[in-house]
């Protein structure tokens, strides 16, 4: 503790460089939030001309963000905090999160400039310069965004290089994706060979932000590296075959990967000490990706699942089992080297649920609750629409927009499953079955794909299911999801505010500095957070989860559900 502040609790900063905002949270050693600062790119930095934080080129299917905007946002964030009286001298550690997959291209001069920043001048002025088109210490003034779809040819090359999407998923934890850094680097090299030749180092967004605080190029962290299609998950090393495919001498440009979670990378750059008042001993720890950081925002145990019910639907889970598939992503866990992070993303989330709601809701009966009629119908309909054991089960799949899991176009498909397992395609369901089927089908898809990773649990279901996002407040969605997925200890609605990534990063910084037991051994992140984390007000139990007989009944139709998906795929 700083000698001048003996009575004040020490603080930890967590930052989140997302698509549309830069967020900064401060927490105490007991993990209480004391300060929050947000810079919104479009409104706070309008001179960059972004829309929702990015520039879009529809002709090239290209989505990028200006790197200078991110740098100015950091300066603005910390300046606002200083003007508000925030005491940077109390900060003992800093970590952060960055939107995954994006890359930043540094010139040979970058490291020297980072280490010699003048505290009397702003970051943009020194790192980028002034005037449109200036690149400063960067060989490209932009960074590819995760929404970019310009790399189909490069994705094809990645999968052809190793023998197909399943083999690539086995190596890297994911099949080739447009947004992943490897295909993006290959495209950058093909488009701009001169720029690539002048590039000395390449950072991810997370390690770029870390580099600013560290005053030198920071290593990529062990979890975020898995979103590149370049890291061999089996050996935890760079894949030479995929590096060679991407660009010449790429290994030296990417640098080392920090394998030790919570590593003290070094003290904060003197620039931040002089300009903002950070203490010289403030520790900079690895920064990770936004999705890995999200699972750090609560004491998530192995085989706990987080279901994010927003515009898209995402399932996150920590698992000890490495069972790769083209259908989902596996990353190294950001704080536990014995675990992996499972991530399953769907395009059709709230949009599909809202479409069915609107189709079945009576327009003649005005109501203050737009979900009231939908919920009543979903909850009054038995699982799979079966009132008797001899009834057919009903399955509906609803994709208002093209889906990636499975990879099919937009459409609606309805099937009846006889007690003997025969499938029959039908055109319509009654409104009650429709309401329940949209929730069931989304949950069945998650269960089907998560099953191999839950094999160490008996029965094969999560310990707890945590719901976040707008849909988490809907009782019908919560109940049906719990019945399909299970959850031995129940289903919970989780509220950690709108800044889960920044909060997870702040917890990471606190653990990295304070997470040592008295005998000198490291305290596990989960135990560290659990000891300090208060559930009251943050977690509400909204469902029982596992119901004997119901969960097994859904398991009986998983094979039929998988066959329906295959048939849909053959129709494409």
3 state SS for 369-420: CCCHHHHHHHHHCCHHHCCCCCCCEEEEEEECCCEECCEECCEEEEEEECCC
Q: Span 527-544, mean pLDDT?
A: 87
- The string of DSSP codes covering 256-284 is -EE-STT---EEPPHHHHHHH---TTPEE
**What tokens does 334 get?**
């950001």
Residue 138 bridge partners (DSSP) = 106
**Is the predicted pLDDT of residue 518 greater than 60, yes or no?**
no
pLDDT of amino acid 5: 40
pLDDT in tens, 464-511: 999 988 899 999 999 999 999 999 999 999 887 778 899 999 999 999
pLDDT of amino acid 355: 94
**Is the predicted pLDDT of residue 365 greater than 80, yes or no?**
no
Q: Span 282-293, mean pLDDT?
A: 96
pLDDT of amino acid 26: 98
**Residue pair 204/258 in contact by the 8 Å Cβ criterion:** no
pLDDT of amino acid 6: 39
The rounded distance, in Å, linking the Cα atoms of 310 and 50 is: 23
Hunting for tokens 């994706």 — which residue is that? 177
Domains, in order of start, for the chain: 11-286 (3.30.420.40), 350-468+477-491+543-569 (3.30.420.40)
Tell me the pLDDT of the chain averaged across its residues: 93
pLDDT of amino acid 4: 39
Q: What angle do CA 379, 384, 388 make, to 5 degrees?
A: 95
CA 174 to mean position of chain CA atoms: 14
Q: What angle do CA 416, 420, 426 make, to 5 degrees?
A: 15
Hunting for tokens 């397992």 — which residue is that? 421
**Residue pair 546/461 in contact by the 8 Å Cβ criterion:** yes
Give the residue with greater pLDDT, 217 vs 135.
Answer: 217
**What tokens does 323 get?**
């069972």
pLDDT in tens, 299-341: 888 889 999 898 888 999 998 989 999 989 999 999 999 999 9
- pLDDT more than 90, % of the chain: 80
The rounded distance, in Å, linking the Cα atoms of 285 and 569 is: 45
**Is the predicted pLDDT of residue 520 greater than 90, yes or no?**
no
pLDDT of amino acid 517: 62
pLDDT of amino acid 7: 46
pLDDT of amino acid 516: 67
Output the pTM of the full model: 0.89
pLDDT in tens, 391-439: 999 999 999 988 888 988 899 999 999 999 999 999 999 999 999 999 9
Question: Cβ neighbours of residue 140 under 8 Å, at least 6 residues apart?
Answer: 67, 105, 188, 192, 195
pLDDT in tens, 272-281: 999 999 999 9
pLDDT of amino acid 133: 60
- The string of DSSP codes covering 329-340 is EEEE-SS-TT-E
pLDDT of amino acid 3: 37
Residue 63 bridge partners (DSSP) = 56
**Is the predicted pLDDT of residue 2 greater than 50, yes or no?**
no
The rounded distance, in Å, linking the Cα atoms of 92 and 107 is: 31
């Amino acid at each position: 503790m700083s000698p001048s502040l003996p009575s004040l609790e020490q603080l930890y900063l967590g930052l989140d460089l997302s698509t549309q905002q830069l967020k900064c949270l401060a927490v105490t050693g007991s993990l209480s939030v004391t300060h929050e600062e947000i810079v919104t790119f479009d409104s706070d930095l309008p001179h960059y001309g972004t829309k929702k934080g990015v520039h879009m080129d529809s002709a090239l299917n290209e989505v990028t963000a200006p790197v200078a905007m991110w740098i100015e946002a950091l300066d603005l964030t910390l300046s606002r905090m200083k003007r508000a009286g925030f005491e940077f001298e109390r900060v003992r550690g800093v970590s952060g999160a960055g939107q995954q997959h994006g890359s930043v291209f540094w010139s040979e001069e970058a490291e020297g400039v980072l280490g010699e920043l003048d505290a009397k001048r702003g970051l943009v002025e020194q790192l980028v310069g002034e005037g449109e088109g200036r690149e400063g210490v960067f060989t490209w003034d932009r960074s590819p965004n995760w929404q970019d779809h310009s790399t189909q040819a490069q994705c094809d090359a990645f999968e052809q290089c190793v023998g197909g999407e399943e083999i690539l998923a086995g190596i890297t934890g994911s099949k080739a994706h447009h947004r992943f850094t490897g295909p993006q680097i290959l495209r950058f090299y093909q488009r701009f060979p001169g720029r690539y030749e002048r590039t000395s180092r390449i950072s991810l967004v997370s390690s770029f932000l870390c580099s600013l605080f560290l005053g030198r190029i920071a290593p990529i962290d062990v979890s975020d590296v898995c979103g590149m299609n370049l890291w061999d998950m089996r050996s935890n090393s760079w894949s030479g075959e995929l590096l060679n495919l991407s660009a010449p001498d790429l290994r030296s440009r990417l640098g080392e990967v920090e394998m030790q979670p919570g590593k003290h990378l070094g003290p904060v750059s003197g620039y931040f000490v002089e300009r903002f008042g950070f203490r010289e001993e403030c520790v900079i720890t690895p920064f990770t990706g936004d999705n890995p950081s999200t699972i750090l925002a609560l004491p998530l145990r192995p085989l706990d699942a987080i279901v994010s019910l927003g515009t898209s639907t995402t399932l996150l889970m920590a698992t000890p089992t490495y069972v790769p598939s083209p259908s989902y992503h596996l990353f190294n866990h950001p704080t536990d080297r014995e675990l992996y992070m499972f991530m399953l993303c769907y395009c059709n989330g709230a949009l599909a649920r809202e479409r069915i709601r609107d189709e079945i809701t009576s327009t003649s009966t005005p109501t203050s609750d737009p979900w009231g009629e939908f919920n009543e119908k979903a909850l009054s309909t038995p699982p799979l629409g079966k009132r008797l054991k001899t009834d057919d089960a009903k399955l509906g799949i609803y994709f208002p927009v093209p889906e990636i899991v499975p990879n099919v176009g937009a459409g609606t498909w309805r099937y009846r499953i006889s007690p003997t397992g025969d499938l029959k395609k039908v055109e319509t369901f009654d409104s009650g079955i429709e309401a329940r089927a949209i929730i069931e089908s989304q949950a069945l898809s998650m269960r089907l794909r998560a099953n191999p990773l839950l094999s160490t649990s008996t029965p094969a279901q999560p310990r707890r299911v945590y719901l976040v996002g707008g849909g988490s407040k809907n009782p019908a969605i919560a109940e049906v999801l719990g019945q399909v997925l299970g959850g031995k200890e129940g289903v919970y609605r989780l509220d950690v505010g709108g800044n889960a990534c920044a909060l997870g990063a702040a917890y990471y910084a606190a653990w990295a500095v304070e997470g040592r037991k008295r005998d000198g051994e490291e305290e596990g992140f989960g135990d560290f957070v659990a000891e300090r984390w208060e559930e009251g007000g943050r977690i509400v139990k909204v469902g029982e989860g596992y119901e004997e007989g119901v969960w097994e009944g859904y398991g009986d139709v998983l094979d039929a559900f998988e066959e329906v998906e295959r048939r849909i795929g053959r129709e494409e």
